[in-house]
Amino acid sequence: YTSTIEKFFKLLGESEAQAQKSASSVMMLETRLAHASLSRVEMRDPNKLYNRINRSGLKTQAANFAWDEYMTALGAKNVEAVNVSSVPFFVEVSAIAKDMKVEAVRPYLAWTFLRSSIIALPQAFQDEWFAYQAKNFTGAKEDRPRWKKCVAFSEANLDEAVGREFVRRHFPADSKAKTGDMVKALQTSFEKNLNTLPWMDTATREAALAKVRKMVSNNKIGYPEQWRDYSALKSSRQSFLSNVVELSRFEMARLLSKIGKPIDRTEWHMPASMVNAYYEPQMNEIVFPAGILQPPFFSATATDAVNFGAMGMVVGHEITHGFDDEGRKFAADGSLSDWWSASSAAAFVEKASCVKNQFDQYPAIENLKLNGQLTLGENVADLGGLKLAHAAMLEWTASRPTVANDAPRYTTSQQFFLGYAQSWCTKMRKEQAELRAKTDPHAPPYWRVNGPLGNLDAFRTAFMCTEKSKIQRSGVERCQIW
């Protein structure tokens, strides 16, 4: 890493001796910041990320940093309400401001800018960065063509402009309506399932019922009701780099303009073109962009069973996120508050530990095992989402007429699970698998499929698995939560 930074500074025109000195300064400062940072597991605990100390507290606990000058330069001169996601981190920032000379900090600021602007730098910079990434993290044999980089950059930085065109071309109106019906079916499935959970007391169950009803009423499907206005963005055909800088300024100004205004509950935090979905706990909303409402997750020509296995499971997954080890700490109104009884909370923690222990045993690659605590929320959501989606699918198909002369090779339940498995078909190189095992809160796709299925009665019945089937889990090893 240090060698790569050094090469960047040499490409900027620094002498070898100066480039070595610059790279050393960057490494020293970043290492200090890293040691003061929360781990990825710690960052999954919302209680650790909420430390409202306001501006006066920030100036007291991190007194050596020029906060007033910084806030003024940022354009937030009068901001007083401040939440610090990690107090020790900013204490270290204050210490750095005190004991590191300006000459040692400048290379870090330069490197931060370079690293965030690589796509717009000359080819020599991109080649060095690709070589570093390929060797250590991706295992790629050749860099992506420039047009693919530009598409990815545009989607990330002009998300609603790209999303609007994507929706126009690829998202028919009936897809939104069908997904809406699917969401309602999953809500019904969740509500019915709540009454079957012996570990949850009545008061907590009623609060969970209120939360899921509000969540579903807040669902967003396909695309925003109002597209973002980019007219204030200054762009030019003369310099891609200047456009990168202007995009950064535009986005920062957009974010700062929210201060002091009511929360915009219509805002999306993911491009409409993205193949993904999310649950936002502070808004208690579930969001399904048009990008994921495409094959293999959703298809107008697929059977209902396959669509429920692929996309219905995604809906159930996001609903369950509201009740995983992280999402359950937020109430129906999105506030960070404890609405669980002590007994129900203890029962949940015990059941969740089963899922953690299960995934701790799975190999990510060679001798590296998964981190069950890091992936716990996603694994709980997968397990709950599958159970809920399968139950919803059975009720959905039972209420609709079958097609005459239709003799499918697979039963509806088998189609459901095959649709789920096929939607996660993935291939990645060893280096990428290792990186994700250490950093990704999602388990690898192989275990996202085979991990939860061994806990489900519905899967066992659908494929007539015996107790000796390799995939099946039994006894104390069998995990069930939602």
Catalytic residue IDs: 318, 382
Query: In degrees to the nearest 10, what's the CA dihedral of 309, 312, 316, 317?
Result: 70
Q: Where do we find the tokens 């007291």? A: 60
Pairing of the two strands 285-289 and 220-222: parallel
Q: What are phi and psi of 228, to 5 degrees?
A: -65, 145
Which single residue is written with the structure tokens 């489900």?
456
The string over 441-463, giving b where at least 16 C-beta atoms fall within 10 Å of a residue's C-beta and e elsewhere, is: bebbbbbbbebbbbbbebbbebb
The torsion region of residue 238 among left (phi > 0), alpha (psi -120 to 50) and beta comes to alpha
For residue 293, give both structure tokens: 């409402």
